[in-house]
Amino acid sequence: MRQLFVIWHRYVGLLMTLFLVVAGVTGTMLAFYGELEALLHPHIMRITPVPGQQVMDPVALAQQVLERYPHTVLNRTPLHYESGKPMRYFLQPVPPATVASLQNNEIFIDPYTGAVLAERKWGDISQGLINLLPFMYRLHYSLAVDKWGRTLFGIVALLWTLDCIVGAYLTFPPRQASARSRPGGVVSAMVNWCRRWKKSWQVRRGSGFYKVSFDLHRAGGLWVWAMLFVFAWSGVAFNLAEIYRPVMTQLFASQQTENELPAINPAPASPGLNRQQALARGRVLMQQASTEKKFVIRFENRLTYLPNKSIYSYSVNSSLDVSDEVANTRVMFDAQDGSLLAHYYPGRAASGNTVTEWLLALHTARVGGVAMQVFVSLMGVTVTGLSLTGVYLWWRKRKAKKAAKGQVSRQKRSAVTAAG
């Protein structure tokens, strides 16, 4: 069985190498996505408000954006203004046109004046430096080929999750004869096992490059194993939800989200509540939920319209969220009459959703501040290093096997020649 796991780890690791190296290298930078964007584009990402000037109403600002960009819709209305930063709006074309038909789909707006600061087609590297970080993001989760790449990356994340378990098992020392029959045998065997396993956590000093590489690959994987598993399984959550959700639902209690609410066919041509009415309704429902569940609303985040389901989703950051950087406390209500459909409480109602919230927040470094960003960035380097050392170890073993076979062949030819 152990040999089968060795073969799995070796060849699945080789299969994943390209994906993990790309994810590792890009992840090193994406941990500081906002900071790097501000550094590259300070004229867009940094705003100095005039003293005494107030930000515009978010609904009025959204309407202004739509008037400037006809033949588009705005299904996500940002509500939260971060001091010194622009508001971002993601436009979609009026169906049946597709996003590909838009010249640009991300608009940066000065929230004080309503002026357009910049626009870009998110992730399109042909537009130059303005899309460097979004392009890195596309590489990170889909090799920049979007739908098919995202599915492929999800499959790799699933294999990586399983390989984390296999890799951990392979660090365990081989079994020895049981000492259960002797007094104190079980305890003695456990102590001996831990002593032998301790070697897997260490790097031998003064060894050759191959041995050091082997130790770094094995020990390095153990040192950060928990975070590797977090990255792998959260990668499944991001890219392969059709696998992630059923598994988590079986293991943990889960709440209903927008994804579980049914689509309407045919969907209404337009919502019964306009954006201003929907925002007012969302605020009322959220305040009621806050009073009932006794949580604190910190700031509004977004109003989202789902046209295929005729649903509005209103989200805030609350004391239920895992950090101040995550705003996933939500109410969902009917876009026609405003009737409440569901609540989503990220850190209280269901353990499965709490686990997911933490997995995604850790993956994206949205908890723990700068220290977590640095750690996630270093994890990108670690994932790259583990992948490359794995390839090197495979190549050395393959080279050694070829050399051994060549030696055997030469010996056979020599024996035949001598016999002749």
Can you give the CATH number for the domain in which 133 is found? 3.10.450
Banded model confidence at residue 385, pLDDT cuts 50, 70, 90: very high
Q: Residue 126: is its pLDDT beyond 90?
A: yes
pLDDT at 184: 61
HEC profile of 227-243:
HHHHHHHHHHHHHCHHH
Query: Per the domain annotation, does 113 fall within a domain?
Result: yes
Query: How far, in Å, are 49, 70, 321 from residue 101 at the CA level?
Result: 35, 13, 37
pLDDT at 182: 54
The count of other CB atoms within 10 Å of the CB of residue 339 is 10
pLDDT at 100: 81
Q: Residue 318: is its pLDDT beyond 60?
A: yes
Query: Per the domain annotation, does 294 fall within a domain?
Result: no
CA distance 166 to 183: 33
**Beta-strand (E) ranges in 79-185?**
87-90, 92-93, 106-109, 116-120
Q: Residue 420: is its pLDDT beyond 80?
A: no
CA distance 30 to 32: 5
Q: Give the best-scoring range by mean pLDDT among 41-50, 253-262, 351-360.
A: 351-360
For 187-219, b/e burial (b = at least 16 CB within 10 A) is eebeeeeeeeeeebeeeeeeeeeeeebbbbbbb
What is the rounded average pLDDT of the residues 2-11? 94
pLDDT at 207: 80
Q: Residue 410: is its pLDDT beyond 80?
A: no
Q: Residue 219: is its pLDDT beyond 70?
A: yes
- Give the sheet arrangement for strand 106-109, strand by strand: 87-90, 106-109, 116-120
Query: Per the domain annotation, does 183 fall within a domain?
Result: no
Query: Per the domain annotation, does 64 fall within a domain?
Result: yes
Contact 9, 166 (CB under 8 A): yes
The count of other CB atoms within 10 Å of the CB of residue 176 is 10
- Count CA within 13 A, CB hemisphere, residue 347: 16
pTM: 0.91
The residue assigned the tokens 């259960």 is: 180
The rounded radius of gyration (Å) of the Cα atoms in the chain is 27
What is the rounded average pLDDT of the residues 304-330? 96
The count of other CB atoms within 10 Å of the CB of residue 71 is 11
pLDDT at 280: 98
pLDDT tens profile 23-58: 999 999 999 999 999 999 999 999 988 788 889 999
Range of 101's domain?
41-138
Query: Per the domain annotation, does 172 fall within a domain?
Result: no
Q: Residue 180: is its pLDDT beyond 60?
A: no
pLDDT at 19: 97
pLDDT at 373: 97
Q: What's the domain count of the chain?
A: 1
pLDDT tens profile 129-160: 999 999 999 999 999 998 999 999 999 999 99
Tell me which of 106-115, 255-264, 272-281, 364-373 is least confident: 255-264
Helix (H) or strand (E) holding 318: strand 311-318
Query: Per the domain annotation, does 126 fall within a domain?
Result: yes
Q: Residue 177: is its pLDDT beyond 70?
A: no
pLDDT at 406: 75
Contact 136, 26 (CB under 8 A): yes
What is the rounded average pLDDT of the residues 263-287? 94
Q: Residue 167: is its pLDDT beyond 60?
A: yes
pLDDT at 346: 93
Mean per-residue pLDDT of the chain = 92
Contact 214, 393 (CB under 8 A): yes
Strand partners, 116: 109
Residue type, position 318, single letter? S
In terms of pLDDT, which residue wins out, 403 or 103? Answer: 103
pLDDT at 87: 96
**Beta-strand (E) ranges in 18-104?**
72-73, 76-78, 87-90, 92-93
What is the rounded average pLDDT of the residues 318-347? 95
pLDDT at 183: 55
In terms of pLDDT, which residue wins out, 409 or 77? Answer: 77
Query: Per the domain annotation, does 182 fall within a domain?
Result: no
pLDDT at 95: 83
Q: Give the best-scoring range by mean pLDDT among 87-101, 113-127, 179-193.
A: 113-127
Phi, psi of 343 (to 5 degrees): -110, 155
Query: Per the domain annotation, does 162 fall within a domain?
Result: no
For 383-419, b/e burial (b = at least 16 CB within 10 A) is bbbbbbbbeebeeeeeeeeeeeeeeeeeeeeeeeeee
pLDDT at 181: 53
Banded model confidence at residue 98, pLDDT cuts 50, 70, 90: confident
The count of other CB atoms within 10 Å of the CB of residue 78 is 20
pLDDT at 115: 94
CA distance 8 to 154: 18
CA distance 115 to 54: 14
Q: Residue 409: is its pLDDT beyond 90?
A: no
